[in-house]
Amino acid sequence: MVRWGGKLIETQPEEHQTCFTVLGEPLRHNGQPKSEKGEAHTGRFLACTPGFYDPMVYSSGRNITFVGRVVGVVHHKIGQFNYLYPKLEAGAVYLWLLRPIKPPVQEQFYMGVGFGNYPGWWYGPGWGFWPYW
């Protein structure tokens, strides 16, 4: 048994199964592909599993992970190059959720001077930095 994953290149439904062409990537401890810029890929592979998987849902560019066994090698062309794809017979398929890209958090500090009007040790003039989140 192996656990492979990466970025989907193509989803091809056939009569009794669906085959996925995947650009393999190293996986995190939880099985999620490490799809970060500059991360080395591990080559392409073909994963087939029984049943129908909709190509609109399992679309190109999505992260996916498979668990299964390697059953051989398949020859396909990439342009004019004859490429050998390891073929995986997948028993489990996991399509990772799309996550929105969050903008980086920018910390902003403000300095203010003023007088407090509450009783206690904080009463009187003061200054400070406030982080703006």
For residue range 78-124, list pLDDT tens digits in order. 999 999 999 999 999 999 998 766 666 666 655 555 555 555 555 55
Q: Is the pLDDT of residue 129 over 60?
A: no
**Which pLDDT belongs to residue 130?**
53
Q: Where are the domains of the chain?
A: 2-95
Hey, is 6 helix, strand or coil?
strand
**DSSP assignment of 63-121, as one string?**
EEEEEEEEEEEEEEEETTEEEEEEEEEEEEEEEPPP-PPPPPP--EEEEEEEE--SSST
Residue whose structure tokens are 């051989």? 72
Fold of the domain built from segment(s) 2-95: OB fold (Dihydrolipoamide Acetyltransferase, E2P) (2.40.50)
For residue range 42-85, list pLDDT tens digits in order. 899 999 999 999 999 999 999 999 999 999 999 999 999 999 99
Residue whose structure tokens are 């001077």? 113
